[in-house]
Structure 1
Amino acid sequence: MPLAFAVVLAMGIQMGVLLSSQPKLGSSKNMSPIDEALAYISAKYVDTIDISSLNEKGIEALLQQLDPHSIYIPKPELSDVNNQIKGSFDGIGLEFFEVFDTATVVSVLDGGPSKLVGITKGDKLVSIDDSLVAGKNYSEERLRSKLRGEGGTKVKVGVKRRGQKEIKYFEITRGKVLVSSIVSSYMIDQNIGYIKVERFSETVADDLHRSLEKLNSLGMKKLIFDLRGNGGGVLDIAVQMVDEFLDEKKLVVYTKGRVYPRQDYYESKPGLFEKGEMCVLIDEESASASEIFAGALQDYDRATIVGRRSFGKGLVQEQYMLSDSSGLRITVARYYTPSGRCIQKSYSDGQENYYHEMLNRFTKGELTNKDSIKITDTTRYYTVSGRVVYGGGGIMPDQFVPIDTAEINFSISGLSNYRIQEAGYQFAINYNRVFSVQDFTVAEKLLDYSVEKLSIEQKNLLGKKLEMLSAKILYDDNYYYKLINQTDMDVLKALEVLKKK
Structure 2
Amino acid sequence: MKLRIRSALLTRACLLVLAAMLCLFAPASIQTASAQTPTAEDLKRDRNRGLAMLQLVKDYLKEYYYDPKFHGMDLDARFKTSEGKIKEAVNLGQILGIVAQTLVELNDSHTFFVPPPRPVDVEYGWKMQMIGDTCYVVAVKPGSDAEAQGLKPGDEVLSLDGFKPTRQTIWKMEYNYNVLRPQPGKRVLIRTPNGEQRELALKAKVEKRPKQINLEQLYNEINDEREDEKKLPRYVELGSDVFIWKLREFGLTESKVDDMMKKARQRKALILDLRGNGGGHEITLKRMVGYFFDKDITIGEVKRRKETKPVKAKTRGDKVFKGQLVVLVDSKSGSASELFARIIQLEKRGTVIGDRTAGAVMRSIYRPGLLGDMSSGNMVPYGASITDADFILTNGQSLEHVGVTPDEILLPTAAQLAAKLDPALARAALLVGAELSAEKAGTLFPLELELH
TM normalised by structure 2 equals 0.50
Structure 1 residues without counterparts, runs of 5 or longer: 1-30, 81-96, 102-137, 156-171, 346-392, 411-460, 466-486
Task: Quote the offset at 1:289 in angstroms.
Answer: 1.2
Q: Is the 8 A contact 2:299 2:311 kept in 1?
A: yes
Structure 2 residues without counterparts, runs of 5 or longer: 1-54, 56-75, 122-140, 146-202, 372-380, 435-452
Change (3 A) 1:100 1:183: closer
* 2:258 aligned with 1:209: yes
User: What secondary structure is seen at the aligned counterpart in 1 of 2:270?
Assistant: strand
Instruction: With a CA cutoff of 8 Å and minimum separation of 6, indicate the structure with the bigger relative contact order.
Output: 2
Q: Tell me what 1:266 maps to.
A: 312
Change (3 A) 1:100 1:65: closer
Deviation per residue, 1:220-273 (Å, 9 max, x gap): 12100001122222333222222222222211232213x152221111351644
Q: Is the 8 A contact 1:187 1:215 kept in 2?
A: no
Alpha-carbon distance in structure 1 between the residues aligned to 2:369 and 2:392: 30
Deviation per residue, 1:307-335 (Å, 9 max, x gap): 22222223222221123321111223221
Q: Tell me what 2:412 maps to.
A: 403
Change (3 A) 1:273 1:154: closer
Q: What pairs up with 1:247-396 in 2 under 5 angstroms? A: 247-257=294-304, 259-270=305-316, 272-324=319-371, 325-345=381-401, 393-396=402-405
* 2:106 aligned with 1:66: yes
Q: Tell me what 1:185 maps to.
A: 235
* 2:125 aligned with 1:76: no
User: What secondary structure is seen at the aligned counterpart in 1 of 2:101?
Assistant: helix
Alpha-carbon distance in structure 2 between the residues aligned to 1:338 and 1:266: 11
* 2:246 aligned with 1:196: yes
Q: Tell me what 2:22 maps to.
A: none
User: What secondary structure is seen at the aligned counterpart in 1 of 2:403?
Assistant: coil
User: What secondary structure is seen at the aligned counterpart in 2 of 1:339?
Assistant: coil
Alpha-carbon distance in structure 2 between the residues aligned to 1:153 and 1:73: 16
> How many pairs are equivalent?
270
Alpha-carbon distance in structure 2 between the residues aligned to 1:236 and 1:151: 29
Deviation per residue, 1:124-180 (Å, 9 max, x gap): xxxxxxxxxxxxxx965528889x96548999xxxxxxxxxxxxxxxx9x8895444
Change (3 A) 1:262 1:270: same
User: What secondary structure is seen at the aligned counterpart in 2 of 1:395?
Assistant: coil
User: What secondary structure is seen at the aligned counterpart in 2 of 1:340?
Assistant: coil
Q: Is the 8 A contact 1:277 1:498 kept in 2?
A: yes
Change (3 A) 1:397 1:38: closer
Higher strand share: 2
Alpha-carbon distance in structure 1 between the residues aligned to 2:209 and 2:113: 23
Task: Quote the offset at 1:290 in angstroms.
Answer: 0.7
Change (3 A) 1:277 1:145: farther
Alpha-carbon distance in structure 1 between the residues aligned to 2:382 and 2:339: 28
Q: What pairs up with 1:389-468 in 2 under 5 angstroms? A: 393-408=402-417, 410=418, 461=419
Greater radius of gyration (CA): 1
Task: Quote the offset at 1:281 in angstroms.
Answer: 0.8
Alpha-carbon distance in structure 2 between the residues aligned to 1:180 and 1:205: 17
* 2:241 aligned with 1:232: no
Deviation per residue, 1:34-69 (Å, 9 max, x gap): 679959986xx7xx955x656533322321321142
Change (3 A) 1:59 1:200: same
